[in-house]
Amino acid sequence: MKKMMKAASLLMAGALTAVSLAGCTNEPVQSTDSVGSNQQGNSSANSGDTITLRFMWWGGDDRNEATLAVINQYQELHPNIRIEAEMNSDQGYVDKVSTMLANGTAPDIIQQNVDSLPDFVSRGDFFVDFYEYPDLFDTSGFEKNFIDQFGTFDGKLLALPTGMSCLATVANTEAAEACGIDLTKQITWDSMLEDGAKLHTENPDFYYMNVDTKILCEYVLRPYLRQLTGESFIVDSEKRMGFTRDQLVEALQYIKDCYDNGVFEPAEDSATFKGQIHTNPKWMDGKFVFAYGPSSSISLLTNAIPDTECTVVQMPLADNRVNDGYFADTPQYMTVNKDSENVEEAIKFLDYFYNNSDAQTTLKDVRSIPPTTTARNLCDEEGLLDSTVVEAVNLAANLNGKSDKGYTTSAEVYAIQEDMVESIAYGQSTPEEAADNAIELITDYLSTVN
């Protein structure tokens, strides 16, 4: 009995550990939430004349419905094409794409996260260059400057921007009025701290800005530094940090002051809503005056308070800024997998997706303001665009900040920024300690990148 127990326990110890290690192999990942718009047919094999394409994206209900409708339109026009829709949430999406690319199981058409795409591009030749297929994909609808800045890597158009977007400050007009906040006044970093502190002192239940620690990296920490330095967080071409220790300490001290003075809700309270600040009951109860969010998801914030009028205001701009720090962006990209067996068919579908008028009016602003001038004009004429989203993008269009997608937004550097902000938010580190630690980690990261 004793020996048997001993043997069984040791065997189980070995077996269980082996199973944990199994997670470290590059076995293909099952796409559990894949929903085929057409239930028949193998995803990659052609049966007879039928060609099957796999199309993967993430999004909410509106985006899913509109995208499926466009797929159905295309299938009706092209009976030999079947498109399998693989709908996902944004949670874990990037991890899934990376595993699929590594294993050669990636779909033919893939929606990409703007932060992670440069990382994929730097790691391999995964995506089709649309410029190589001028007869199949018409790029004339895009403004040249726009696709040069978003989607073009070393002269190759590897990704198509899905829309024009930006970071937005959404204001709850009723809360602003009740708290005496003037929405016509340009917010500066100083005014945000001053007004927010005053608001919380006078109304302890109220907070100026609805944020979480991840949002703070993109909406406060990096823009603050960009306005201060005029450079990206990391200057990719020179593989160096675009700020000094003192400048980083200043930015972190600002975030600390905002937490200490009640401009932001304490991190302990907002932690539960990280990544989903629109679900914070205080936002729903009108206890925040402002919330940060991408223009492509403004509806999440506004729909959470359907009876309240919301508007957008300009992002914070320092009086003595080197540049505006903020910029117009794209919310996602579309790419075609270079290993696809049906590259040309995938490109033809995307041509329909971007350039056909039926597709344009169906997709409307489900991926923010349409990226092509033809789609924008058409949707505008038909009144299909959300005026709040249009306003947010118009505000950003006048800003002269420069995109910092690249090393700055790689998962590892993003995590360093987030850890830095969290350690400040939870009072675990002083701004000086957090800055020193982050600089050490970023230096180490930069020494390992090719």
Partner 1 sequence: MAKAKAKEKPRHGGWTKRNKIGFSYVCIWIFGFLVFQLYPFISSLIYSFTNYDIFHTPEFVGLDNYIRLFTKDQEFWNSMAVTLKYTFITVPGKVVLALIVALILNRNLKGINFIRTVYYIPSLLSGSVAVAILWKVLFMNDGFINSLLNAAGLPSVKWLGQPSMAVVTICMLEIWQFGSSMVLFLSALKQVPQSLYEAARIDGASKPRMFFKITLPMITSIAFFNIIMQLITALQNFTSAFVVTNGGPNKATYVLGMKLYTDAFKYFKMGYACATSWIMFVVILIITLVLFATSKKWVYYDN
Contact residues toward partner 1 (CB under 8 A) are 1-2, 5-6, 8-10, 12-13, 15-27, 94-95, 98-99, 101-102, 119, 123-124, 267-272, 274, 281, 411-412, 415, 419, 422-423, 425-426, 428, 437, 444
Amino acid 306 reads P
Least distance from partner 1 to the Cβ atom of residue 195, Å = 25
When the beta carbons of 340 and 410 are compared against partner 1, the nearer one is 410
When the beta carbons of 182 and 269 are compared against partner 1, the nearer one is 269
In angstroms, the Cα distances linking 323 to 231, 232, 326 are 9, 11, 8
When the beta carbons of 139 and 270 are compared against partner 1, the nearer one is 270
**Residues found in the chain:** 450
> What are phi and psi for residue 156, nearest 5 degrees?
-105, 135
- Asked whether the beta carbons of 263 and 200 are under 8 A apart, the reply is yes
Least distance from partner 1 to the Cβ atom of residue 209, Å = 18
Least distance from partner 1 to the Cβ atom of residue 88, Å = 15
- Asked whether the beta carbons of 154 and 125 are under 8 A apart, the reply is no
Least distance from partner 1 to the Cβ atom of residue 116, Å = 9
Distance CA 145, CA 382 (A): 26
Query: Residue 210 class from Cβ within 10 Å (0-12 exposed, 13-18 middle, 19+ buried)?
Result: buried
Least distance from partner 1 to the Cβ atom of residue 349, Å = 26
Least distance from partner 1 to the Cβ atom of residue 410, Å = 8
Query: Residue 125 class from Cβ within 10 Å (0-12 exposed, 13-18 middle, 19+ buried)?
Result: exposed
When the beta carbons of 127 and 349 are compared against partner 1, the nearer one is 127
Question: Dihedral, CA atoms, 413, 416, 422, 423, nearest 10 degrees?
Answer: -160
When the beta carbons of 88 and 165 are compared against partner 1, the nearer one is 88
Strand runs labelled E in 341-432: none
When the beta carbons of 119 and 365 are compared against partner 1, the nearer one is 119
**How many other CB atoms sit within 10 Å of the CB of residue 338?**
15
What is the dihedral sign for C-alpha 395, 231, 125, 157? positive
When the beta carbons of 295 and 408 are compared against partner 1, the nearer one is 408
Least distance from partner 1 to the Cβ atom of residue 265, Å = 10
When the beta carbons of 124 and 180 are compared against partner 1, the nearer one is 124
- Asked whether the beta carbons of 292 and 210 are under 8 A apart, the reply is yes
What is the dihedral sign for C-alpha 257, 260, 265, 268? positive
Q: Say if strands 288-294 and 207-210 run parallel, antiparallel, or are unpaired.
A: parallel
**How many other CB atoms sit within 10 Å of the CB of residue 184?**
5
When the beta carbons of 10 and 35 are compared against partner 1, the nearer one is 10
Q: What is the DSSP letter of 186?
A: P
Least distance from partner 1 to the Cβ atom of residue 93, Å = 12
Least distance from partner 1 to the Cβ atom of residue 127, Å = 13
